[in-house]
Chains A and B, each alone.
Chain A
Amino acid sequence: GAVVSQHPSWVICKSGTSVKIECRSLDFQATTMFWYRQFPKQSLMLMATSNEGSKATYEQGVEKDKFLINHASLTLSTLTVTSAHPEDSSFYICSANGGRNQPQHFGDGTRLSIL
């Protein structure tokens, strides 16, 4: 079946560091991908919609300059957490699907810990 690969699985870094997370669709082309953030014991919160070849669409309250999204090809979207601080520590998850009533396929998530 369709697979979405997310890398890295976990990151630990110092405050002020910028961290890049990659999301790849392995066996299908994804013109649209999604980025979510999840805090412990909470549900997934949609951060932004990543559109191939154009700017990402951010949800209300999500800082676009803080969370840079690049979707340069039909199989790769990246999320860069710029100048990360401890409050950015979270579980970040990407997904992709083929259309409105099609199932979404999720990556395994990236656990980000900022010291």
Chain B
Amino acid sequence: DAKTTQPNSMESNEEEPVHLPCNHSTISGTDYIHWYRQLPSQGPEYVIHGLTSNVNNRMASLAIAEDRKSSTLILHRATLRDAAVYYCILPPNTGGFKTIFGAGTRLFVKA
């Protein structure tokens, strides 16, 4: 299955922007990049997804490299409530649409 690579953890100050990177060099041409986050003791929450061009929604922005081998989730102003594990995910190579989670990036936000 297409793999993603993310840093284990990152730290940010409150009210500052956060850029969470993800490498996915084996991505296929038609697969979307999805981002989810999981707050403590909760199920994962959808954040954003995109195919080629940059995407924005009320939660975040997604910047996708031109070659699509990497992407960056951007939180414009981190708050304490953004402290979570962030997962960058691709659909499986084998078809279907089950979601396989990697280790993700644990984001720490300092007040």
- List the interface of chain A (C-beta within 8 A of B): 6, 32, 34, 36, 43-46, 49, 91, 93, 95, 97, 99-109, 111
Contacts and interface: CB of A to CB of B under 8 A. Distances in A.
Interface of B: 30-32, 34, 36, 38, 41-46, 49, 51, 85, 87, 91, 95-104
Tell me the dominant secondary structure on chain B's binding face: loop
Given A34-B98, A43-B104, A100 B44 contact: no
Contacts of B34: 103-104
A103 B31 contact: no
Given A46-B100, A100-B31, 4 more contacts: A43-B103, A100-B96, A101-B97, A106-B46
B49 A44 contact: no
A108 B42 contact: yes
B98 to A, nearest CB: 6
A75 B102 CA distance: 28
7 contacts: A36-B101, A44-B44, A95-B43, A100-B95, A104-B34, A107-B43, A109-B42
Contacts of A49: 96, 98
A34 B49 CA distance: 19
The residue in A49, A102, A103, A105 that gathers the most chain B C-beta atoms within 10 A of its C-beta is A103
Contacts of B99: 34, 46, 95, 97, 104
Counting chain A CB atoms within 10 Å of each CB, which of B31, B43, B102 scores highest? B43
A91 B39 CA distance: 13
The winner among B44, B87, B101 for most chain A CB atoms within 10 A is B44
